[in-house]
A and B are shown apart, each in its own frame.
Chain A
């Protein structure tokens, strides 16, 4: 299915959870802030929320150091 990630169209396996999708990108989900269809997700919802056809995902990933 097609989804929009940070403004760009991407192909994603259907029914993946947010957590699975972010992990597949190679990121630790704990280091990513996720907005799904305009709503900031709580960390506890990453495992349950599923991606759907055409959904819009904004990912803000953090790198250590400060």
Chain B
């Protein structure tokens, strides 16, 4: 049997994708098998998961959710769709981490930031000019809804402290530290290690400037607890925060969240 655009179809040896398309969706011009785009002449195997897509077509909402993940490695979506992820800080790191996690289809994001979008944020943070002045939690909620309408978003728009972090994030599977200040970062990890022992954790330290890509690393502190960064490049006068390197660190964080969810932490 084959799965074709959510439907089950009979399989016979020698069946090619373009035979299938001719029968089911002749206008298709994008062909995906088991999460990977392939040429139409591809020979199929029993159990393959196939998508026949017409570029630019409008599709039903029920198809949308499956199509969002048609490029994922099979099986990943089932493991992440019920997860709850907390993100502390929605700046250069947090706004990028939130987008990446929305795109892989995590179930719920709990977003925390007390700030509003400012013009100086736009050099690296995933907001738009017409969102200047909006709370970051609200602006990010709007943006994520345009990426993945199936994502649940909860927000907290006050300051995070040593005392409220354990209460707000006690039910998340993984907590991502995306703060700007070094002291706040240290406080958050200390709180997580002492008060949230069953929660996965991915922090960040050292990602300013435009130093070598490859010194940004993901360092394991203990099982399911990681810190990303080069440990050196501080944001300070003369060494700013810029989209490329902050983005590298943020995507290290997002991938580590995924690895923890998949049991690889």
Interface-located stretch among A7-15, A27-35, A47-55? A27-35
- Shortest beta-carbon distance, B219 to chain A, in Å? 9
Report chain B residues within 8 Å CB of A33. 186, 189-190, 193
A18-32 vs B, CB cutoff 8 Å, 1 = contact: the mask equals: 000000000010111
Which has the most chain A C-beta neighbours within 10 Å: B89, B94, B180, B186?
B186
Interface residues of A in 34-62 (CB under 8 A from B): 40, 42-43, 60-62
Report chain B residues within 8 Å CB of A62. 182-183, 185-186, 189, 203, 205
B181 touches A64 (CB 8 A): yes
B232 touches A63 (CB 8 A): yes
Please tell me which one of the listed residues B182, B227, B232 contacts residue A28 in the complex, with CB atoms under 8 A apart: B182
B205 touches A28 (CB 8 A): no
A31 touches B182 (CB 8 A): yes
B179 touches A40 (CB 8 A): no
A66 touches B189 (CB 8 A): no
B89 touches A66 (CB 8 A): yes
Q: Tell me, in angstroms, the Cα distance from A62 to B89 when the chains sit together.
A: 16
B23-54 vs A, CB cutoff 8 Å, 1 = contact: the mask equals: 00000000000000000000000000000000
Q: Tell me, in angstroms, the Cα distance from A64 to B234 when the chains sit together.
A: 5
Interface residues of B in 137-195 (CB under 8 A from A): 178-183, 185-187, 189-190, 193-194
Please tell me which one of the listed residues A42, A43, A66 contacts residue B180 in the complex, with CB atoms under 8 A apart: A66
Report chain B residues within 8 Å CB of A65. 180, 206-208, 233-235, 241, 246
Write the chain A residue with the least CB distance to B241. Answer: A65
Q: Tell me, in angstroms, the Cα distance from A53 to B207 when the chains sit together.
A: 36
Please tell me which one of the listed residues B182, B203, B231 contacts residue A64 in the complex, with CB atoms under 8 A apart: B182
Can you list 23 A-B pairs, Cβ within 8 angstroms, ordered by A? A28-B183, A30-B187, A31-B186, A33-B193, A40-B190, A40-B193, A42-B194, A60-B189, A60-B221, A60-B227, A62-B182, A62-B183, A62-B185, A62-B186, A62-B203, A63-B206, A63-B233, A65-B206, A65-B207, A65-B208, A65-B235, A66-B93, A66-B204
